[in-house]
């Protein structure tokens, strides 16, 4: 048995109750087999993979807060600082009832390679809590965020670990967390990204993940002789990533026909009305059921079902494991040409393999959604320089980064004889830089 299989077994043995983490490790390591086999002796001697799959540290803590009725509520907080070989830990904070250690570890592990792919000096980490900001008042969210930071502040810092948004953590939550950190530490530093524009945030950060997803998708299509213009696009989710993916897709001349939330999904054959969508999700924080009121020709369906809608390009932008083998079969049967992951690990391993085997161009999340963290790193640079760049400057840097990422993953896929397998290309490109930095820095 090779080194890769040994490590997959080791992770399963040491972390038996962490299915998402095991899935992420398996997905990455299997696709690194060629490069690991080529360097097996050296990597084994250095214990490289054993060190790579073990977080530098994981912090789990109590988050007590008081709700509007005066009752004490208790949530669990997490921060997993996975690997800082190439820069300070960097990764979002997820606030969702489903959050547990396995999910935070899978996200932190993926983040190592994603951050490496951006070409910027940032390590991998992730955090979160099982707190659900939906249906909470601003005061309750503030109460939670303050308590969360009362513990987390010890472990983060502008040169140590720089958290950002993720599911459930938007501008409001980042503002509350930054305010509390500043109060406790008495320093004004770029410890969070995704901050408001009046206090160190970067223009273009809100749009970055969705826009970046479309820049990379456009490049992947172009490379394969296709044009995004006039293509039909299906999107899941209706949060930050989904909304700005839809905005850019429409700007590039494609038609977006679906969005979803955790209760149901919209099919709008005339193309999703972005202004209506933004009003529902960004202004009123309401449910998608409202959409039909403004767009009578659209359909609302309860539950899942977006992947049954015929499309040229599918963009999963909600959450992990939301595109199964059955969904992949439906996409292929309906003539889908490309899938690009806006969310983290939205496609199961079996579905990914099926799509690639059937000639669908597949851009994995660690490459396709890296625009968010890349722009976060640009926010860190602006904070260090005490400067603010224009939207156009940030957006053009983002586009350049996404085009570079695509070229990097395409050339690494070809280098290992896996032309057009961008999963292999992304994992190898992300891994080699981190592996070389780890080996240069001794044993830690």
* Site residues, ligand NDP (CB under 6 A): 98, 165-168, 209, 237-242, 261-263, 317-319, 342-344, 369, 372
Least Å from the CB of residue 329 to ligand NDP: 20
Q: Which is nearer to ligand NDP, 342 or 430 (CB)?
A: 342
Least Å from the CB of residue 289 to ligand NDP: 11
Annotated catalytic residues are: 126
Least Å from the CB of residue 10 to ligand NDP: 26
Query: Locate tokens 């309906």: which residue?
Result: 334
Decide: 181 and 145 in contact? Cβ < 8 Å. Answer: no
| Mode of pairing for the β-strands spanning 57-66 and 72-83 | antiparallel
Q: How many CB atoms lie within 10 A of CB 171?
A: 17
Least Å from the CB of residue 121 to ligand NDP: 18
Q: Which is nearer to ligand NDP, 166 or 268 (CB)?
A: 166
Least Å from the CB of residue 9 to ligand NDP: 28
C-alpha–C-alpha distance, residues 192 and 419, integer Å = 38
Q: Which is nearer to ligand NDP, 7 or 99 (CB)?
A: 99
Q: Which is nearer to ligand NDP, 150 or 347 (CB)?
A: 347
Element (H, E) at 15: none
Least Å from the CB of residue 95 to ligand NDP: 8
Least Å from the CB of residue 256 to ligand NDP: 14
Measured on CA atoms in the order 318, 322, 109, 107, is the torsion positive or negative?
Answer: positive
Q: Which is nearer to ligand NDP, 18 or 379 (CB)?
A: 379
C-alpha–C-alpha distance, residues 255 and 365, integer Å = 22
Q: Which is nearer to ligand NDP, 262 or 308 (CB)?
A: 262
Please give the residue whose beta carbon sits closest to ligand NDP in the complex.
239
């Amino acid at each position: 048995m090779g080194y890769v299989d040994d490590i997959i077994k080791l992770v399963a043995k040491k972390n038996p109750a962490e299915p998402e983490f095991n899935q992420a490790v398996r997905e990455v390591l299997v696709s690194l087999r060629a490069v690991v086999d080529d360097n097996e002796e050296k990597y084994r001697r250095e214990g490289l993979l054993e060190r790579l799959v073990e977080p530098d540290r994981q912090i789990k803590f109590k988050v007590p807060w008081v709700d509007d009725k005066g009752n004490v509520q208790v949530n669990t907080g997490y921060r997993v600082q996975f690997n800082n070989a190439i820069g300070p830990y960097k990764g979002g904070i997820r606030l969702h009832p489903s959050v547990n250690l396995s999910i935070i570890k899978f996200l932190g592990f993926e983040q190592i390679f994603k951050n490496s792919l951006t070409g910027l000096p940032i390590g991998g980490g992730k955090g979160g809590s099982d707190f659900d900001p939906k249906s909470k008042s601003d005061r309750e969210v503030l109460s939670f965020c303050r308590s969360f930071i009362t513990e987390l502040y010890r472990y983060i810092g502008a040169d140590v670990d720089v958290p950002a948004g993720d599911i459930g953590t938007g501008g409001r939550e980042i503002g509350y967390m930054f305010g509390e950190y500043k109060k406790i530490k008495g320093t004004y530093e770029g410890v969070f990204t995704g901050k408001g524009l009046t206090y160190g945030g970067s223009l273009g950060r809100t749009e970055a993940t969705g826009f970046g997803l479309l820049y990379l998708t456009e490049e992947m299509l172009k490379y394969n002789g296709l044009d995004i213009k006039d293509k039909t696009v299906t999107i899941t989710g209706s949060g930050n990533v989904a909304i700005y993916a839809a905005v850019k897709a429409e700007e590039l001349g494609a038609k977006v026909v679906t969005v979803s939330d955790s209760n149901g999904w919209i099919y709008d054959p005339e193309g999703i009305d972005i202004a209506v969508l933004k009003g529902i999700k960004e202004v009123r924080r309401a449910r998608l059921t409202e959409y039909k009121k403004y767009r009578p020709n659209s359909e609302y369906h309860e539950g899942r079902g977006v992947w049954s809608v015929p499309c040229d390009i599918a963009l999963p932008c909600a959450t992990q494991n939301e595109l199964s083998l059955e969904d992949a079969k439906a996409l292929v049967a309906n003539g889908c040409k490309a899938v690009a992951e806006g969310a983290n690990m939205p496609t199961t391993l079996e579905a990914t393999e099926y799509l690639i085997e059937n000639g669908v161009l597949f851009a994995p999340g660690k490459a396709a959604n890296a625009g968010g963290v890349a722009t976060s790193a640009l926010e860190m640079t602006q904070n260090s320089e005490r400067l603010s760049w224009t939207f156009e400057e940030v957006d053009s840097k983002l586009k350049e980064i996404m085009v570079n990422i695509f070229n990097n993953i395409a050339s690494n896929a070809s280098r290992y004889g896996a032309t057009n397998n961008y999963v292999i290309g992304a994992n190898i490109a992300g891994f080699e830089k981190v592996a070389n930095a780890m080996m240069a820095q001794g044993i830690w």
